[in-house]
Amino acid sequence: MDDDHSSIHSSESDLSIEEEIVPLPVKVQQQVGPIVDTLWESVSQFPLIPHEQRTAWTKAVSSFRSSTLPTFKFAFIGRTGSGKSTLLNCLLGVRLLPTSASGACTSACTEIEYADSDSIDIEITFQSEEEWKQRLEIMLEQVENNSERSAERLSQLYPHIADLTGVTVNELMQAGPVKARLGTCVKIRAKDTAECRDVLRDYVSSSSSSAGIPLWPLVRSIRIGGRFPVLANGITLVDLPGDGDIDDVRNAFANAYFEKADGFILTVDAKRAQDDRPTQEQLEKILRQLVVDGRVVDETVLIVATHTEDAIGDDEIELDAQDQPKLEQLREDLAVISKAMKKKHRSQNDLNKSQYELGREFQEKTVAKKRLLADARIKNVRGKLHEVFLRIRICSADNDPTGLPIFCTAGRDYLALNSTDPPVVFTDAKGTEIPDLVSHLRRTGELRRVRWATKLVTRVSAFSTGIHSYFSEGRHPGRLPIGNRKKALAVLTSLEARNLDEAKDVLDEVERVFQDIGTDLTEAVSKAVKNAPRTMKKYGSPGNIHWSTYKASMKLNGLCPPHDLNRDLTKDILPAIQGSWNIGLNYRIPLILKNAIRSMEDATLEAMSDVIDALSRQSPLFHQTLAVARQNIALEPIFDDLHEESANTISLAQREGTRCFKAIVQKELTDQYQLVAKESGPGCWTRMKHSNQEFIETNAENVFNPIERHVNGLFHQALGKVRERISAQLEELTTLIRLTLIEDVNLAPDHKEAKDHILDLSLNSTPTLVLLQIDLADKRRTLGMND
């Protein structure tokens, strides 16, 4: 393959999505900001605006200004060698990332984002001194336990130290080449992808760099920005270190990214996905965590099976009744052609076909057979991956499990189609499924940005029309009768009380769901307490761990990679609670919140109608129709945000809750770990194990019970935040309705010029906002979005 040919998007494989000169969400951001700034500049200087109204508008303007074009981080997760970097190159349309670097293909979290620039900007951040110090402690313990890998790595990083025996962490922290890099950030601008690859190799290769030492162990993260079409709609792709990698540092980086990523692309080798049980178990483990996080429910996860162009033996795949005869026919054809080619080789007069024609026909039949087998494997892989998903997806009776988006890609063939190399199996780009995956990612980003843009335009339109209504003549011709005003205010008081009662009932129901989960958690923790002595004994068995590694793990609070006692003690808790956790947090609570907030919105609309009806009877010239009032208040976005913020608050507690088990147990065992780590001399291993066994048998409940308290505390805090947010929003909504519909406006005549200027600004903004709303409505219809 011609590596200097950087671009890999040909006319055949280019995206079918038409490029917009300026994407609509970007256009919205560019046009809405000046409208808000210009209008608010005049309104904020106008005197006589009541403090309450000014406060409401100030808050709205602050919200508009802080609403920036959103981006969405999608992290690639997969075992080393699963083809993440190759797949990323295909998606980006350029050979950007090194796909092999002496065994360290992806050694740091690499974020790739869109930047409207002809060059490629690279930012490399190194670990802090504290992070590297912790890492050195682990490596030195491993060296003490005869770890050749850690010894080799330290020798490469500190070549001036001939013997690591007795070397301390503080001594290594003072070494020049390494110390100079810690806590620093390097920014580089590459003119093209070839230069970018050369730069990255210097920082991700396990061989020495231009600095004289391998830099990849010191790198914390890499950020790359360039004009990549797949990222134009706000998607940021994150290449993570391989999950299950032999290097524990890279594993730690990948695991830490689980909580903060917006979405995940799980990569798995197609052949392993089909018949390798450890690979399926690893995938199942990752999916299980994502499901209990609520990730799958909101469609932020997809699976990519890679290397579908890899060779397949004729007997490796079981074909269906329709394809098996095709395979047999291709075998016969190939046998006939092969025989003819041999005869032709012996005698040029035996056959009419030329050697060239026979060779071409043989090649075509061979590719057709490969394609038939590859398609059969793809079908089997999709089925296997769906089975894995169904094993961990637990649904309530009213919710059937839905599938994940699954793509089976042939990255090497896709690259070959855009170079001088022939593809192995897939002779068309579509067959590689790369264009479909690109379209999926672009659509995902576009959907999210269009939702954001729609919400922003709706709110700014409400802000503009509300200001126009406020400053218009005759909003309330004459003073409202006292009785009428009291009646209208009574409607709003009743509305707020009604919605608060609804919120209380809803949150009580949510709390009952938390209690159901807590009951299952109590049972799971009790089982963990019961099993803890057996787990502790197994961990210290000679067949599981060397005595020196056992001691090292005690010094490091139960952790000496790949051994992790805290993980072993808590590993069965999450699977035990997955059923109630998933149904409660991913189905019941979202449905409860959605129905309740919809009910509050309906009640609010009804109350607004009652207020307008009462005011219209008393003041025939009052022209606030329900549609206009609804627009001025932007009711739908208010309740949409309330739902989204409530759900997000609970989701954060949900994600933290499933990740706390190991850390809590480690914290409770730290004193015991450090106590036994002091043991030395003959028989120290026996004494350490005996002390740990006695401790866990006596104190297991004290070690594990904090898990329940912590999770219950997370849920309690989340519920409190949701309750406060709903109460505050309902109070603000009541104020907003009162200011919009009921309060008298007394604008002094001597400010007529300023008032008219504000009205002109509001009117002048209307065409732009209306056109944006029309364009967004068209875009939503094109994307098949449900309003």
Domain boundaries defined on the chain:
128-182, 478-628+654-743
Q: What are phi and psi of 119, to 5 degrees?
A: -100, 175
Torsion of CA 201, 206, 207, 211, to 10 degrees: 70
Q: Do 639 and 600 contact (CB within 8 A), yes or no?
A: yes
The pLDDT value recorded for residue 631 is 73
Compute CA distances 773 → 450, 469, 635, whole Å. Answer: 11, 20, 16
Q: What is the largest CA-CA distance in the chain?
A: 113
Q: Do 312 and 323 contact (CB within 8 A), yes or no?
A: no
Q: Which tokens hold the place of 365?
A: 């039949």
CA distance 48 to 748: 8
Strands 301-306 and 263-269, how do they pair?
Answer: parallel
The pLDDT value recorded for residue 247 is 46
* Cis peptide bond prior to 214, omega within 30° of 0: no
Percentage of the chain surpassing pLDDT 90? 48
User: In the 3-class helix/strand/coil scheme, how is 156-206 assigned residue by residue?
Assistant: HHCCCCCCCCCCCHHHHHCCHHHHCCCCCEEEEEECCHHHHHHHHHHHHCC
Residue ranges of the chain with per-residue pLDDT less than 50: 1-6, 9-20, 101-105, 244-247, 249, 349-351, 395-401, 476-478, 621
| DSSP letter assigned to residue 585 | I
Compute the Cα dihedral for 584, 304, 279, 553 and give only its sign.
negative
Q: What are phi and psi of 213, to 5 degrees?
A: -135, 155
CA distance 314 to 327: 9
Torsion of CA 270, 272, 275, 281, to 10 degrees: -120
CA atoms within 13 A on the CB side of 114: 18
What three-state secondary structure class fits 711? helix
Compute the Cα dihedral for 116, 205, 171, 141 and give only its sign.
positive
CA distance 253 to 115: 25
Listed in sequence order, the residues at least 6 apart from 335 whose beta carbon sits closer than 8 Å to its beta carbon are none
Q: What are phi and psi of 225, to 5 degrees?
A: -125, 135
The pLDDT value recorded for residue 240 is 81
The pLDDT value recorded for residue 730 is 93
Q: Do 71 and 235 contact (CB within 8 A), yes or no?
A: yes
The pLDDT value recorded for residue 12 is 38
The pLDDT value recorded for residue 348 is 52
pTM for this one?
A: 0.85
With CA atoms as reference, report the closest residue to 139 among 108, 172, 116, 117.
172
The partner residues of 109 in beta bridges, in order of sequence, read 221
CA distance 739 to 508: 32
Report the Cα 55 to chain-centroid distance in Å: 36
The pLDDT value recorded for residue 658 is 86
Question: Please, what's the b/e burial string for 654-680 (b: 16 or more CB within 10 A of its CB; e: otherwise)?
Answer: bbebbebbbebbbebbeebbeebbebe
User: In the 3-class helix/strand/coil scheme, how is 717-776 assigned residue by residue?
Assistant: HHHHHHHHHHHHHHHHHHHHHHHHHHCCCCCCHHHHHHHHHHHHHHHHHHHHHHHHHHHH
H-only helix segments in 540-583? 547-555, 565-570, 573-583
CA distance 772 to 24: 8
The three-point CA angle 32-37-42 to 5° equals 135
Orientation of helix 547-555 relative to helix 684-737, angle to 10°: 40
With CA atoms as reference, report the closest residue to 76 among 245, 187, 239.
239
Query: What are the tens digits of pLDDT across the range 164-177?
Result: 888 899 989 988 88
Compute CA distances 555 → 136, 228, 269, 699, 772, whole Å. Answer: 13, 47, 38, 20, 62
The pLDDT value recorded for residue 475 is 52
Q: Do 428 and 12 contact (CB within 8 A), yes or no?
A: yes
CA distance 566 to 250: 20
